[in-house]
Amino acid sequence: MQEKIFHSYMKSSIFFTLEKLRDINYQLLKEHNIVKSSNIYFVTKVKKMRFDVSSINFGFNYNIKGKLKYGNRIKKFEYSIPNLLFSLDIELQNTFGNWKKYVKFLYSYNKKDYYPIFYKFKKEHILSEKTNSDGKYLVIDSGFAKRAIEGHDSNEIFFYADNIFGLLEPFEILGELIYIGRSQDVIKRLSKHEKFRNFSLELNDDEELLFHFLEFEDEKIEKELFTKKNFSFIIRDFVDEIEKENRIKIIEAILINYFKPTINIKEKK
């Protein structure tokens, strides 16, 4: 059922690490369409995703290839940087509804040197290729970057290992499910939640927390959950008569009861 919930009923998804709840990333996540349309979020304990620093290779025609390590697993990747930047532009437009809205957002916060959780530019032109020591992000220097905002002369791009496109699907990185909650106005609440920061201190060196926001096909998952034998007290014919907010509360309770996530169970006790 776990993979079915993450995959069969999923329309779109985003996942990020705890540190993305700070600074400009916090503001960007609040504006993210998937986060805003999500009803339920999951927190999982997973193996860290990191670039294999020694594997990164820049080739002809702005191609980049290398390996991403996730626990004992390794995923190879190869991208054309111009095509990847085009994909990132599309992602930004999907995130903010349109490109102009995103540019307006950046200028309204006066943060021209910060970009979303997927990547960011900086003004300095000092690196051609580099990863930080533990492979958390990859930095490249590309003239294509200045297309992002007209007149912005930055070439340096940061790709985060936990957000690089197309390498890992949500159901591939489920890990251990430790919390389930409703996601209304959740970014503000998460930024103040000490329980996740405290829990992260107990993790092993090769582990981290991931926050998954999923946009489901509501009616399909609701009727799937509501008509299970264990919940037959809710008659199929009356599902549509339950108010949206109450349906979400019921789904949350059903999922918690089914998965018994660590932090949810502790809070009940």
175 in Cβ contact with 251 (< 8 Å): no
**192 token code pair:** 């103040």
Residues 237 and 221: their CA atoms lie apart, in Å, by 15
To the question of pTM greater than 0.95 for the whole model, the response is: no
Residue 186: its pLDDT value, please?
72
Residue 13: its pLDDT value, please?
66
101 in Cβ contact with 118 (< 8 Å): no
Residue 232: its pLDDT value, please?
46
Residue 79: its pLDDT value, please?
74
Residue 94: its pLDDT value, please?
61
Residue 154: its pLDDT value, please?
44
Other CB atoms within 10 A of residue 78 CB: 10
Residue 81: its pLDDT value, please?
65
Which amino acid appears at position 46 of this protein?
V
Residues 190 and 192: their CA atoms lie apart, in Å, by 5
Averaged pLDDT, groups of 10, the chain, 269 residues long: 54 70 63 72 84 75 77 80 62 58 48 36 34 60 45 50 57 76 75 78 85 68 56 50 72 82 79
